[in-house]
Amino acid sequence: MTYLSRKLTFFILMLASVFSLGQTITEQFLVKGNCGQCKARIEKAALTAGATSANWSAENQTLTTTLDQSKVTGDAILKSIADAGHDNEKYRAPDEVYNALPECCLYSRDSDFEKPNDTLLHHSENDEKQIEGVKLIREKEATALNKKEAGLVFNISSKELLKAACCNLSESFETNATVDVSFSNAVTGTKQLKMLGLDQKYTLLTKEQLPEIRGLASPYGLTFIPGRWIGGIQLTKGGSTVVNGYESITGQINTELLKTKDDAKKAETEINLFADNNGRVEANVTSTSPLSGKWNQSVLLHGNGTFGDTDMNDDNFLDRPKGSQLNVAYLLNYNDLEGSGFGTHFGINFLKDERTAGQIGFNKRIPQQDQTLYGVGIDIS
């Protein structure tokens, strides 16, 4: 090979290399996911589609890929990722594929995407674009530490309550290790709350920052706040403020009822029904609606009944009391905390609870001395 031929070959190879490099680019895409399994699945789908490299970050929900434009497009990579079960900025995963993902991979599908090209600033020698603003979106955590309070206060949202068997307040702490609720009386079915290992009397229980479950209301009070009425719970560990009461030695639990959301423009009504094979039924109707810019109202209805004789150990005693409960509440709320810093609410609550406990066949309407069966009749209104 002559010197001229070698030079010509080297020049052709250099041109081919430059052309090849010009076709390889790095792009970023928004892809939803949760955990390490999501990362492996997303990156595998991108590489299978033809990406040269792929790296997904769970922190900012961003996939960084290197691809050869002559072989694959970003659109094809995003389509492959959606087919694998992950929503992205262009394609939504099929519902059946999303529902088949492991539980830890079921990311939230509520929030929308902001495309990187709409929110990021790109610079080049020949092109420069300026952005007018950046929109940051963060989903509210199910349980979050309140950093505005001096004490150890945790905000438990309705998202966390959905994880528990939340039929009333006593069943709202199934996923919280700090609070333990157990039966204090096997016959009447009354429940007692323990916080940090101490009895309920050392914990301040409030509703809308007003003392609610204390004194004679302690044995049954935990069952008088339906779970579907709860908009959130503020849980304070350790000694709390005495502004709302003096019992907060181990902490304070404040229950916040459902209210109209700040951005709500119209009324929201929900109906919830429950039944099990032991004869327990429950119905809830909640309605929240804005009245004006700062006023809103909440109408809350609840009814439950236990009609079956549950005796799993055949000792002729009811495993749980029979009876019914009717609970109605109306709240009128004023909220101008961001303006004048003033907020208040007015409300009325009607409750009627009738229970029968003890031996099967006991009739609470017959005096105890006139029947041989032992039982307890409970009437609260």
> What CATH number corresponds to the domain at position 81?
3.30.70.100
Instruction: Quote the domain boundaries for residue 312.
Output: 259-381
Q: What pTM was estimated for this model as a whole?
A: 0.57
Q: Are residues 237 and 287 located together in one domain of the fold?
A: no
pLDDT at 291 (0 to 100)? 87
Do the domain assignments include residue 285?
Answer: yes
Residues 82 and 32 in one domain: yes
Q: Are residues 181 and 99 in the same domain?
A: no
The pLDDT of residue 129 is 59
pLDDT of 341: 82
Torsion sign (Cα): 37, 40, 45, 48: negative
Q: In this structure, are 110 and 146 located in the same domain?
A: no
Given a cut of 50, the residues of the chain with pLDDT beneath it are 18-22, 115-127
Closest CA to 78 of 69, 68, 66, 89: 89
Could you report the per-residue pLDDT of 73-82, keeping only the tens digit for each?
A: 889 999 999 9
Beta carbons of 330 and 297 less than 8 angstroms apart: yes
User: According to the model, what pLDDT value does residue 196 have?
Assistant: 74
Predicted confidence at residue 96, as pLDDT, reads 92
In this prediction, residue 122 carries a pLDDT of: 40
pLDDT of amino acid 118: 41
pLDDT at position 330, please? 94
Distance between CA atoms of residues 239 and 89, nearest Å: 47
Number of separate domains in the chain? 3
Measure the CA–CA gap between 229 and 344, rounded to whole angstroms.
18
**pLDDT at position 123:** 41
The amino acid at 299? V
On whether both 177 and 114 belong to a single domain, the answer is: no
pLDDT score of 166: 59
Write down which residue in 85, 119, 153 finishes a domain. Answer: 119
Cα–Cα distance for residue pair 25/33, rounded to 1 Å: 24
Please tell me the predicted confidence (pLDDT) of residue 3: 54
Which residue, among 154, 141, 140, has the nearest Cα to 234 in the 3D structure?
154
Q: Residue 40: its pLDDT value, please?
A: 92
Residue 5 in domain = no
Query: In the prediction, which pLDDT does 116 show?
Result: 43
pLDDT tens digits for 255-302?
888 888 766 678 889 998 888 888 889 999 999 998 887 888 999 999
Residues 182 and 252 in one domain: yes
**What local confidence, expressed as pLDDT, does residue 363 receive?**
87
